[in-house]
Structure 1
Amino acid sequence: MATSAYTTPAARPRVLRTPAPATLEAEDVSAWFAAHKVLDRVSLTMPARQVTALIGPSGCGKSTFLRILNRMHELIGSAALAGRVLLDGEDIYDRGRRITHARRSIGMVFQKPNPFPAMSLYDNVLAGLKLNAIKATRAGKDDLVEECLTKAGLWKEVKDRLRQPGGALSGGQQQRLCIARSLAVRPRVLLMDEPCSALDPTSTRRIEETIDELKDEVTIVIVTHNMQQAARVSDTCAFFLASHGTPGVIVEHGPTDMMFNAPEDPRTSDYVNGRFG
């Protein structure tokens, strides 16, 4: 492996300073699509250096909540929002706070891997730098690509074919490439919307290993319908539920072990044990 500025103190300077992981807090968040209310006064603290899993049946607002956390909800013309989202105490929705700043600090990995298919692996990793007008030397870019692919658990598999297109990778590799791309702009929080739902068990295991390795460097919030996965990868867990046409709410949240083994609400016990949903 080539010497990297990210592992050798005396080597070349980094492209970007690595910020500390942030605590993310939602305060009384409600959301609408036109007249349809999909979330009602959701409050949740997602601690720094932890993995928070959002669980619950389909249609209860988990993915909408995740998109609210990095200001993607407002891209929909009929969408509306109330409440606050705090990144280490600062509201990302404050007037004057640029949406690009929020999305750089709070990255997103989607359910379906979305690398730029005709762009090389190397350029895929660096795509966020261009979008955020971040300049770097060629040596700095080389180091950043190696570092991010290593963190995403992909470097050893692709280091000899960095100029091949991203669309040539398998589904699991493409998802890890998307994680590497998100990491390249140094987010403080990484949101993941069912990142393993379309992957085989081997790829799923690799993504879960990557999540575990990353949480000391970036706060992670993951939506998952896989209860075994939530139990394996998360430190804290929040159970969302919407019933009888009512908007989604958080029924219960807390340490994952308590949520799965000693929940306070019987609906939580029924859901994590597969009795509905």
Structure 2
Amino acid sequence: MTDTAALADEFDSWFAPDTGAATTESIPTIAPATLDAREISAWFGDHKVLDRVSLTMPAGRVTALIGPSGCGKSTFLRTLNRMHELVPSASLAGEVLLDDVDIYDASRRITEARRQIGMVFQKPNPFPAMSIADNVLAGLALTGIKLDKGAKTDLVEETLTKAGLWNEVKDRLRQAGGGLSGGQQQRLCIARSLAVRPRVLLMDEPCSALDPTSTRRIEQTITELAQDVTVVIVTHNMQQAQRVSDRCAFFLAEAGTPGAIVEHGPTEAMFGSPQDARTADYVNGRFG
């Protein structure tokens, strides 16, 4: 049996009748956290892609990372929950503080960092053969959280509601997640991330492959989520950055230099009265 098949069997068993042997735990509601990147530099082999990037992403706010392709936005995003180090040639310098605790500290478990700082990718990636409900609950096994059947049922409804998907799927929770539309699959992935109660949610161009209607629904979801979780989103859509974010950071890599932040601040100021001419040119579509 493959590992994937074994996981699928395990997730299916979560909805089997309770035997009384399972441990029941509650998942506490956790407040959103401030994420503070300090002097982050990143490499792939000998190639430096980020140079001393510092940025504070306030708790309960949406921070948008903007800038042309190849300036290090997605790499920076992946340093925020230790995904950058998954690349064999990758290395990093600097600190990422989650409410003043460095997630790269040797005493910190990588699994705990990723539980508290979730990730939604550019392309929706639900487990296609698993049901909608099992997709939502998939992260519980990986983080060692055990719930009884009633708690699982409540969690599925809660997270799908937060992701703006409950009313569309509540009558077909046992159907395969791969049968949903692209926009619904992306919201299912958001619900899956929310199920383990992250304090921060990272989103790497979550709407780039979606139609305008699905994009609007995801944007509405992001706005609603900000009261429960800190959101950091990479986007190339300037109108989207204006619509969903409270703060923006403009990244740029010029003439072969590593990516760095040119300017950051409240979104209204970044678009209405930027301090750097390069920021003004970018947000007004004059390059990039």
Q: TM-score range by the shorter chain?
A: over 0.9
* RMSD (Å), alpha carbons: 0.8
SS of 1:185's partner is coil
1:252 aligns with 2:263: yes
Give how far 1:14 is off: 7.9
State the match for 2:222 in structure 1: 211
**Contact 2:38–2:96 (CA<8 Å) still a contact in 1?**
yes
Structure 2: runs of 5+ lacking an equivalent: 1-23
Cα distance between partner residues in 2 of 1:61 and 1:15: 38
Cα distance between partner residues in 2 of 1:57 and 1:232: 19
Q: Choose the corresponding residue for 1:161, options 156, 169, 172.
A: 172
Where does 1:36-55 land on structure 2 (aligned, <5 Å)? 36-55=47-66
Aligned structure 1 segments of 4 or more residues deviating by more than 3 angstroms: none
The count of aligned residue pairs is 265
Q: Choose the corresponding residue for 2:131, options 120, 139, 142.
A: 120
State the match for 1:106 in structure 2: 117
State the match for 1:134 in structure 2: 145
1:227 aligns with 2:232: no
Residues 114, 156 of structure 1: alpha-carbon distance in 2 compared, 3 angstrom cutoff: same
**Contact 2:34–2:98 (CA<8 Å) still a contact in 1?**
yes
Q: Deviation string for 1:198-251 (max 9, x for gaps)?
A: 000000000000011110100000000000000000000000000111000000
Q: Which amino acid aligns with 2:260?
A: V
Cα distance between partner residues in 2 of 1:14 and 1:33: 41
State the match for 2:183 in structure 1: 172
1:184 aligns with 2:195: yes
Cα distance between partner residues in 2 of 1:61 and 1:272: 17
**Contact 1:15–1:141 (CA<8 Å) still a contact in 2?**
no
Give how far 1:16 is off: 0.4
**Contact 1:21–1:189 (CA<8 Å) still a contact in 2?**
yes
State the match for 1:95 in structure 2: 106
1:240 aligns with 2:240: no
**Contact 2:59–2:230 (CA<8 Å) still a contact in 1?**
yes
TM-score (normalised: structure 1)? 0.95
**Contact 2:127–2:135 (CA<8 Å) still a contact in 1?**
yes
**Contact 2:60–2:228 (CA<8 Å) still a contact in 1?**
yes
**Contact 1:15–1:144 (CA<8 Å) still a contact in 2?**
no
Q: Which amino acid aligns with 2:108?
A: R
1:24 aligns with 2:35: yes
SS of 1:148's partner is helix
SS of 1:253's partner is strand
SS of 1:216's partner is coil
TM-score (normalised: structure 2)? 0.91
**Contact 2:25–2:147 (CA<8 Å) still a contact in 1?**
no
State the match for 1:63 in structure 2: 74
Q: Deviation string for 1:128-176 (max 9, x for gaps)?
A: 0011110000000000000000000000000000000010000000000
Cα distance between partner residues in 2 of 1:130 and 1:146: 18
Identity of aligned residues (%): 78
Cα distance between partner residues in 2 of 1:100 and 1:260: 37
Cα distance between partner residues in 2 of 1:110 and 1:21: 20
Q: Which amino acid aligns with 2:213?
A: T
State the match for 1:195 in structure 2: 206
Cα distance between partner residues in 1 of 2:209 and 2:245: 20
SS of 2:51's partner is strand
Cα distance between partner residues in 1 of 2:217 and 2:30: 25
Q: Choose the corresponding residue for 1:263, options 235, 255, 274.
A: 274
Cα distance between partner residues in 1 of 2:148 and 2:192: 18
